[in-house]
Amino acid sequence: MPVDWQDYDGFDWAGSTQSPMEDGERAAVVGMVADLLELSESDRSSSWGRASPPGRFAATVIKLSPGLSHIYQAQPGDIGVKVFKVNADARRESERVVPFHLTELGRLPGLPNEHVQRSFDAGSRRDQQSAKRAFIVQQWLIGDTLEDWIRRRWPTASPEGAVIRSILRQLFGEIVIPLWGQGTIWWDFRDANYCYDPATDCLSVIDVDSLGAYADEILHTPQIWTKRDKGRTTALARLRQMTMRLVLAQFPGKSRLVRESYPSRSKKKLETSVTTAWQTELEPALTLLGKDVATHDAALALRRFIEQLDLQGLFK
């Protein structure tokens, strides 16, 4: 089989409303991607890729095998080809995001950024069953989503405070602050959109499709903040929630175990301490970052925020 479907088949189909592709559809997708890559006949018959589980709009992402000869091999790092589903929702989504990835993403201020997944190509073509499918050729990032990483580590093998501190510094200091400081603001912050590789201690954004809604304002009317200010409000609430989950991931979830791991502190008190530091130190800077607050000042606010968490003993 030219593409390994083990990860795809291992998806929790029983706990999902999705249905797996049948053999014919899989073969059609594989053939389409092989044509897109312009693979040789010998490579097509060998094992050249590995299919990941589906997403809301993606039928799969096929990670290309190392050393494979294809038309995108000059691009840095590993490559994945995201193939969209063919239902109405996926078609609408692809019609929105494919042009963004193809013509706008690389032009946004602050990009490329080493912590943001890069796109190399996008478009649509017919699969081997003549269904028109959209695709995005993108950087493949190693690691787990923060959602999966936190779920796996907590509460039985909670991460150390130094790891959480590093993730927060990367999230804000190397992603949010540099990009927002240049006006590249978006709203869709959630654990599933971030990939963390423990081996390299590297956090990366793996989904910036929501930036497409602000690309026109950012690129053509950067003095207008109507869309971005609205998106920023949603983003701040989500970033606070992400921060809370990361800090609490260090401590077991049952209140009894929290007390044992963190003497004299309940979960509620932990949450209150994080919220207070967030509201007094970091949120005020992020609220006006890129407008009345400069990147340097936001970086200082981040340092104070982390210092406050340290003073409160919130890094285990």
Q: DSSP letter at 22?
A: P
Checking if the pLDDT of 258 tops 50, the result is no
Percent of the chain with pLDDT over 70: 95
Structural contact between residues 277 and 313, judged by C-beta atoms closer than 8 angstroms: no
Q: How far apart are CA 156 and CA 95, in angstroms?
A: 43
**Range list for CATH 3.30.200.20 in the chain:** 3-139
Confidence of residue 48 (pLDDT cuts 50, 70, 90): very high
Per the structure block, which two tokens stand in for 276? 């207070």
pLDDT at 188: 94
CA 172 to chain centre: 14
Considering the domain 144-311 in this protein, what is its CATH number?
Answer: 1.10.510
Q: What is the mean pLDDT of the chain?
A: 93
Compute the average pLDDT of residues 226-241.
Answer: 97
Closest CA to 306 of 125, 167, 169, 179: 169
pTM (two decimals): 0.91
Nearest CA among 134, 304, 302, 271 for reference residue 209? 134
**For residues 230 and 192, what is the distance between their CA atoms, to the nearest angstrom?**
22
Q: Is 228 in contact with 109 (CB distance < 8 Å)?
A: no
| pLDDT tens for each residue of 59-83 | 999 999 999 999 999 998 899 999 9
For 170, phi and psi rounded to 5 degrees?
Answer: -70, -45
* Ramachandran angles phi, psi of 303, nearest 5°: -60, -40
Residues of the chain with CATH 1.10.510: 144-311
The answer to whether the beta carbons of residues 271 and 314 sit under 8 Å apart is no
Tell me the Cα Rg of the chain: 21
Interval 192-206: pLDDT, tens:
999 999 999 999 999
In this prediction, residue 265 has a pLDDT band, given cuts at 50, 70 and 90, of low
Helix H, strand E, coil C: the string for 212-266 is HHCHHHHHHCCCCCHHHHHHHHHHHHHHHHHHHHHHHCCCCCCHHHHHHHCCCCC
Among 67, 9, 1, 69, residue whose Cα is nearest residue 30 = 1
In CATH, what class is 3-139? Answer: alpha beta
